[in-house]
Chain A
Amino acid sequence: MVVVLSVIAMVSAAVLSLVYGKTSVIIEENAARALESSVLEVLPGTATVNMIRRSPDELGVDDPQEMREKGQETTIIYQGVDEQGQIVGYAFVGEGNGYGGVVRVLVGVDEATDQVLNVKILNHAETPGLGSRIEEEGFRSQFAGKTVDDPITVNQDIQIISGATISSRAVADAVREGLQDTVRIYRGGE
């Protein structure tokens, strides 16, 4: 009895570790490629993507300790460069709390004007058919042209999706907070 069950469990573990070893590489590659192609989407004209990593100490943030406690050890900013080597803009991943969990968005910002170019929803767990409509162009396009000086708040300059107030607010929060942090970091205290 014990032997049979142990053997089954061992065979199962062996098979799974084999499958995991094979697929985990592809899964990681997929994730990296997906993020890179997402950056291309939010920064049109980009040919190559640079990653800029900054740790809180380098940034000279008021309180690096506080940032570390929040788990924000490093901030990654994606910089888009076109074929001529000109910087197109920069992109960042923002997070907001939605109805079904964290909503992660990728925001592309124009190099010259610091205006938001595009917003892409990376992943979310919102209610299909309601909250999931944050993925629709009509909602996302409202963020284009916004800068740090805009409120980027629902019911002010962002119209909510009816029936999806919390999801809409999550996206607005993610864009607003991410934009504030990223512009400050990227422009280095301008």
Chain B
Amino acid sequence: MARLWKNFVNGLWNENPTFRIMIGLCPVLAVTTEAINGIGMGLATTFVLVCSSALVSLLRKVIPEKVRIPAYIVVIATFVTIVDLFMNAYLPDLHQVLGLFIPLIVVNCIVLGRAEAFASKNSVVSSILDGLGMGLGFTWALTVLAAVRELLGSGSIFGWKLAADGATTIGVMSLPPGAFITLGILMALMNMIAARQKRRAS
């Protein structure tokens, strides 16, 4: 039980895909202009991660070593297409905002990375928990990053206008450089907290 819990929280903090192992940064930089996009993208990725981890783990003894990468990609692409179609049908507004970035989940290296590094070697339950933890870790990272950028770049948060009309916003925060700057600062903060925890532990 403790081990399963560890699988789950691993992705949330210790091996947070965005801030710690720093993979899948392309959507992180691209969609985090508004907090709601961060959540939507994060949850879509979480769904794909959980489903593909479960299936890859289930099929880990069937898939031959040599064709494992194409097999994983087919599995992942299938789930991504399902998300894309369902989102288009039932959440058309969000789908319009995220647009191209939904199909691009296929090439998000977190998904393939977890399939290869974890799901192909572990049981179905641990793989699902690992996918869920990684996905939610990705989601909170995206949401925090997007909230900071939205606040500084457009003066609003989750679409609610906070800054007074005509107040100067930092336009660069809405552009790609803003994503790098925010990501760097947040990463430094995470490292600071982790270092402090370590010092306290020793």
A1 CB contact (under 8 Å) in B33, B64, B82, B154? B64
B84-96: contact bitstring with A at CB < 8 Å (1 yes, 0 no)? 0110111010001
Min CB distance B64 to A, Å, is 5
B88 CB contact (under 8 Å) in A27, A128, A130, A163? A27
User: Is B71 close to A, CB under 8 A?
Assistant: yes
Chain A stretch 88-115: residues in CB contact (< 8 A) with chain B: none
A129 CB contact (under 8 Å) in B70, B77, B175? B175
Assembled-state Cα–Cα distance A47/B169 (Å)? 41
User: Is B171 close to A, CB under 8 A?
Assistant: yes
Given A1-B67, A15-B82, A20-B85, A30:B153 Cβ within 8 A? no
Q: Which residues of A contact B66 (CB under 8 A)?
A: 1
A5 CB contact (under 8 Å) in B67, B153, B171? B67
Q: Which residues of B contact A19 (CB under 8 A)?
A: 81-82, 85-86
Contact B86 A23 (CB under 8 A): yes
Contact A128 B89 (CB under 8 A): no
Interface of B, helix, strand, loop or mixed by DSSP = helix
Assembled-state Cα–Cα distance A5/B71 (Å)? 6
Contact A127 B74 (CB under 8 A): no
Interface bracket on B: 20 to 34
Q: Which residues of B contact A51 (CB under 8 A)?
A: none
Contact B96 A123 (CB under 8 A): yes
Interface of A, helix, strand, loop or mixed by DSSP = helix
Contact B92 A4 (CB under 8 A): no
Contact B74 A12 (CB under 8 A): yes
Chain B stretch 30-58: residues in CB contact (< 8 A) with chain A: 33-34
Min CB distance A16 to B, Å, is 6
Contact B70 A5 (CB under 8 A): yes
Q: Which residues of B contact A123 (CB under 8 A)?
A: 96
Contact A26 B174 (CB under 8 A): no
Residues of B participating in the A interface, judged by any CB pair closer than 8 Å: 33-34, 59, 62-64, 66-67, 70-71, 74-75, 77-78, 81-82, 85-86, 88-90, 92, 96, 99, 153-154, 171, 174-175
Q: Given A30-B89, A34-B92, 16 other A-B contacts at CB below 8 A?
A: A1-B64, A4-B67, A5-B71, A8-B59, A16-B81, A19-B81, A19-B82, A19-B86, A23-B85, A23-B88, A23-B89, A26-B90, A27-B88, A128-B34, A128-B174, A130-B175
